[in-house]
Structure 1
Amino acid sequence: MSLSDRDSKHLWHPLTQHKLAGPAFPITRASGIYLWDEAGNSYIDAISSWYISMYGHCNPMITSAVAEQMLRMDQIVFSGFTHEPAIAMSEKLMALLPENQQKVFLSDNGSTSIEVAVKMALQYHFNRAEKRDLLMAFENGFHGDTFGAMSVSGLDVYNGPFSDFSLEVKRITPPNGSNNEQVLEDLKKYLATGRVAAFVFEPLVQGAAAMQLNDAAGLSSMIAACHAAGTLCIADEVMTGFGKTGTHFASEQLSELPDIICLSKALTAGLLPMGLTTCTQAVYDAFYSDQLADGFFHGHTYSANPLACAAAIAAMDLLVSEEIQQNIQKIIDSHREFDAEIKIHDAVASTRQCGVIYAIDLKKDIPRYGKERDAILQFFMDRGVYLRPLGNTIYIVPPFVIQQEELQKIYEVLREALVAFGA
């Protein structure tokens, strides 16, 4: 039996209606920027496997660090114990994060990092004897699939069946530069109620919302208004973190800093799952008490897994290296050059770029899921490039280690797709 046939017997895949979907595509090997199938065909991973494998698959520097750690310590309880990989990882991370971040709480993935942040924000006010039971988030935001993370997400395609079971959340239009004043006015109306515990947002780029951009100045004004009202600000940098927006973190491009930052995905360069939530000293101090009940009683079995911490340390070393920083700038420059050409194409409705993230909207209306979208995905695969369209939006988030020749191949396949699907 083929891998696809064996897969269909027992496996239930994410984001899949199995009655309508075709068989899962079997991948047998991954190395560098390439994936290989059973027949030996190779595919450029042009979205870094959901924005995580930014240094290429099976990067030897990262795999070696994890293999070495595996021989010393695999997994230990992190409640009451500590270890060198977690400590070293936190020290290295704090040197990169915005200067107001001081504490790190570790979990398992991006969704749990948001879950931690939401609980942290709600309990922060509870511990201070403040009744704040309302959350705010952007329209069409996506923050994960656990219940707290799902509550602050705004995409019904994922959350529709669970809308009656969510936390109370008010959604607000993201600032785009032309609507900043109106967005700020709308925000202040909610803040005036005194009920808003936290504002949760994806800084600069809303990933699942088809890479929609928000305005840094407008977002900074919103954060300032929240702080003036005593509302905590939670930056979901699960997608944007670790170099993708041109700076280490998107929050660095804001004039006002968030109180809490959520990270995962590229944190461990795709080798092992890990999430973390960082916060300011002021947030942490609200839990630091003689009262046991004021503590943050949240935990995950694999928190601070030593192997994942070792992967994160190696990944951060790569991020700050001269080679990777130069490569990031080369990708940014190449995207800009390609954009100057493609944005005037008859089939293109709009384009946008933030760092190495680049997106094209086709004029043709294509549903987010279904046969038309799957046909575009298959078109790319047939030409040796893995791109995963979000409806009529085709986006690129290439690994930082991609070479110009390979990047040009992605652009050429995109040109062909505009001809094939632009009508």
Structure 2
Amino acid sequence: MSHLYKHLRIHQVFGANTDVGKTVLTTALARVSTVKGHKVFYLKPVSTGAPQDADDEHIKRFGGPRRSAIETKSLFRYDDPVSPHLAAKMPSAEGRVVPTDETFVNSIADYVRRCASEPSYAHMYVETAGGVHSPTLSGTTQTDAYRPLFLPTVLIGDSKLGGISSTISSYESLLLRGYIIDAILLFRDEYYRNYEYLAPFFAEKGVHVSSINSPPSRHSDPEEDRAATENYYASLASPESHDGVLGVLSHLDDCHKRRIEELDSMPRRTLDSIWWPFVQHGLVKQEKDVTVIDSAWSDFFSIYDAGNRQTESSSSSRLQPQLDGSASWWTQALGHAHPSLTLAAAEAAGRYGHVMFPQSSHLPALKLAERLVKDGPGKGWASRAFFSDNGSTGMEVALKMALRAFCISNGIAAEDRTRRNLGIIGLKGSYHGDTIGAMDACEGGVYTCEWHEEKGYWFDSPTIGVCDGKVTVQVPSPILETAKDLPGTTFASLSEAYDVNSRLESPLAGVYRRHIVSALQRLSEIEDIRLAALVLEPLVMGAGGMIFVDPLFQRVMVDVVRDPQLTGGSQGSSALPVIFDEVFIGFYRLGFNSACPVLGVNPDISVNAKILTGGLIPLAVTLATEDIFNAFKSSTKTDALLHGHSYTAHPMGCAVANATLDMVNKLGESDLWTEAREQWRAFQGVPNEAPNPLWSMWDPHFLESVSRLPCVREAMALGTVLAFKLEDNDAGYASHLAQIKLQALKESVQSSTLSAAPGGAPFGIHYRTLGNVAYFMTSLNTERKTVAAVEDRIWSALNTQ
């Protein structure tokens, strides 16, 4: 992951093109660094061509009078003078394994850590090969391959014909991937004079630009050439030199110093100015309790280590990898800063910015709407897609749709006051967001506020989990009161428990049906209550405590509310609209695209967000049937759905969503998912010819073992989600047990799987809890070795008294 040391100033050197002078200017920087009394580490990760012509040999040759203060290193050396991706496959490299990006990055990181172990202040330069998009050994472009290291960058501009364009393009490519570009250097060519244009161009962007005298032309005589080159470098390193190298060095030192100072100051400034959501500020009083995220990549944050900043002599990086254990509040799907998503956002921003949407269309929104309705979670039932900006507002839209449709179908006029007293049917523990309407659709609880006025009726729900190694349905006491016995509450596997269609005629289904019908019929006799919709978080109620609801219960609820005779037909009610809040579970968070196939029934309205855009940008979509749409359709404008947002169908969000769905669809055929599914199939004893069983990124053996621990009441895993409830007499959201029990996870520890974190560094785990419930979440593409490393850490924490 990222590296930052007070005593080792590191800069990575990229070139705007080949043959722009990366090695010459890096040599100048290295030589001036030694003149200033610093040790220098020069790293050329990949070297191609004859050894005597290698860049690290050039550095050794012209490092100056204190060349002994320069240590040079090349990690992967090939004889053929071609692009690295070709050199690694040439006949001369036969028998050598082509290093993966992971091996490549880990090798660099290991060398950086070795250099940082020396206590004296030093400079380090990591010189890349070719241009910014030149391929590495694996074929990945350098901008992406080096990104996990997140080293501050010096860009060597192109001083030749066409160099203005290539320099600006290279800068923007690096910028799009989040690189910190501390300086741009280029030769002072007096014919093309690119520096005259580039200096003011980048000055407006706050980027330092220096032009350096060009090196002398090569002499045919080797000795004369060497002498001329030595004189050239000597002139650049001279204190009287006016070419700017000394100034560049001072600037790079200042950038390094300012970065550390800013990171040092962020905890205090944060405590003084920011009001966090879902945080009791009375319990956060010390700077060490503020998590400063310097950058993020893949499944990891790069955290500024408050401990290391207190120890000036520490050889450890002040930036430590920390696994994003909650998938950043359930949004991450493909890892942080994925270049494909970033470029999709940039392309849409460059083409559209944001454009007015009512009675308009643009391609990203149209494509997204069509694929969500025809091939996505709306396939087979939805006909319309309504865009909003997040899950809570998407639910506000859904409630408006459902309640209006109910009023239309039941002849409740617009002026009828009963419209304002309509309620919903839901489950205790549900949560649909923090806007007022979404809160009104939930039972009062810790998330609600003074304006909240719950409107409806909420059932206690049976839950499903693995208790002491057995898949068990826990039935709440209100349901027990209507049944003499409860057969069918234990199952051989999760796949059996989630086979809803085969359970519909079971005795337990009958118990559920009688309980729901009885409750609704009692409610129909109460004059002030008019229930108008069923609102469900299918399968899992996330914010309520990762409550895995028995899917059979939710299926029976849907069946009952769609039978007017069972819901209190004496009031003349028609079937109730059904809303699925799939903001959390949608798009394979639980291993499937939508809950509809699992429950065996479709909603009238559904809401998706979070994974929809891969965690990069806010966007929500509310899908609806044609009947719901027609409830708002007339020749009167006031009958329309008068709801919207200034950024409705934001082109960037829609473009990123399309890119996300493209990538998620490919994951369905990936080895990662195939192997996980097969492991769960074998564990559950599901025949090969049977439909795919339920599966998870988490190891089924690990889930079973955790469920048997004395401190764990029950555990559960589906798709990317792992959750377990700890034994606690003070259970509920106010409990601190899970937070305390797992505190050691935040510490940086070297995993037995050395490369679980980018760069192979020790890593901590950032996690959040819901009272006595602990949960962890992967991305959809988290590698198995990373999940295994987290499982090891969780196991150790739970087994520590």
Same fold (TM over 0.5): yes
Q: State the one-letter code of the partner of 1:5.
A: R
CA distance in 1, matches of 2:519, 2:718: 25
1:135 aligns with 2:398: no
CA distance in 2, matches of 1:370, 1:220: 32
Paired residues in the alignment total 419
CA distance in 1, matches of 2:345, 2:774: 34
Cα deviation per residue 1:116-166 (whole Å; 9 max; x = unaligned)? 11111122233442356121111011110000111122361111x43x642
**SS in structure 1 opposite 2:447?**
helix
CA distance in 1, matches of 2:780, 2:519: 37
1:168 aligns with 2:431: no
Cα deviation per residue 1:371-422 (whole Å; 9 max; x = unaligned)? 65543464221141122121221112211121121111111111122123xx
**SS in structure 1 opposite 2:355?**
coil
Q: State the one-letter code of the partner of 2:404.
A: Q
Shift of the 211–165 alpha-carbon distance from structure 1 to 2, 3 Å rule, reads closer
**SS in structure 2 opposite 1:351?**
strand
**SS in structure 2 opposite 1:19?**
helix
Shift of the 5–333 alpha-carbon distance from structure 1 to 2, 3 Å rule, reads closer
Per the TM alignment, residue 101 of structure 1 is displaced from its structure 2 partner at its CA by 1.2
Taking the TM superposition and a 5 Å limit, the aligned residue runs for 1:246-285 are 246-285=591-630
Aligned twin of 1:344: 708
Per the TM alignment, residue 277 of structure 1 is displaced from its structure 2 partner at its CA by 0.8
Per the TM alignment, residue 322 of structure 1 is displaced from its structure 2 partner at its CA by 3.9
1:19 corresponds, among 282, 291, 304, to 282
Shift of the 275–212 alpha-carbon distance from structure 1 to 2, 3 Å rule, reads same
Q: State the one-letter code of the partner of 2:348.
A: Q
**SS in structure 1 opposite 2:722?**
strand
1:381 corresponds, among 740, 743, 746, to 746
CA distance in 2, matches of 1:231, 1:149: 18
Determine if contact 2:424/2:455 at 8 Å carries over to the other structure. Answer: yes
Determine if contact 1:175/1:183 at 8 Å carries over to the other structure. Answer: no
Runs (4+) off by over 6 Å: none
**SS in structure 1 opposite 2:658?**
helix
2:553 corresponds, among 198, 218, 237, to 218
CA distance in 1, matches of 2:737, 2:610: 29
Determine if contact 2:558/2:578 at 8 Å carries over to the other structure. Answer: yes
Per the TM alignment, residue 191 of structure 1 is displaced from its structure 2 partner at its CA by 7.1
**TM-score, normalised via structure 1 length:** 0.92
Aligned twin of 1:125: 406
Aligned twin of 1:154: 443
Larger Rg: 2
**TM-score, normalised via structure 2 length:** 0.50
Shift of the 350–374 alpha-carbon distance from structure 1 to 2, 3 Å rule, reads closer
CA distance in 2, matches of 1:117, 1:270: 22
**SS in structure 1 opposite 2:351?**
coil
* RMSD between aligned residues: 2.2
Q: State the one-letter code of the partner of 1:96.
A: G
Determine if contact 2:579/2:605 at 8 Å carries over to the other structure. Answer: yes
Identity %: 27
Cα deviation per residue 1:309-365 (whole Å; 9 max; x = unaligned)? 011001111111146755345271643121122211222211122232221111234
Higher relative contact order (CA 8 A, sep 6+): 1
Taking the TM superposition and a 5 Å limit, the aligned residue runs for 1:210-359 are 210-229=545-564, 230-322=575-667, 326-328=671-673, 330=676, 332=696, 334-359=698-723
**SS in structure 1 opposite 2:387?**
strand
Q: State the one-letter code of the partner of 2:517.
A: E
Shift of the 57–155 alpha-carbon distance from structure 1 to 2, 3 Å rule, reads farther
Moved more, 291-300 or 369-378: 369-378
Structure 1, unaligned runs of 5 or more: none
Q: State the one-letter code of the partner of 1:265.
A: K
Per the TM alignment, residue 66 of structure 1 is displaced from its structure 2 partner at its CA by 1.3
Per the TM alignment, residue 221 of structure 1 is displaced from its structure 2 partner at its CA by 1.6
Per the TM alignment, residue 12 of structure 1 is displaced from its structure 2 partner at its CA by 0.6
Aligned twin of 1:66: 345
Aligned twin of 1:184: 516
Moved more, 224-233 or 279-288: 224-233
**SS in structure 2 opposite 1:78?**
coil
Determine if contact 2:439/2:452 at 8 Å carries over to the other structure. Answer: no
Shift of the 120–326 alpha-carbon distance from structure 1 to 2, 3 Å rule, reads farther
CA distance in 1, matches of 2:364, 2:390: 18
Moved more, 178-187 or 201-210: 178-187
Determine if contact 2:538/2:595 at 8 Å carries over to the other structure. Answer: yes
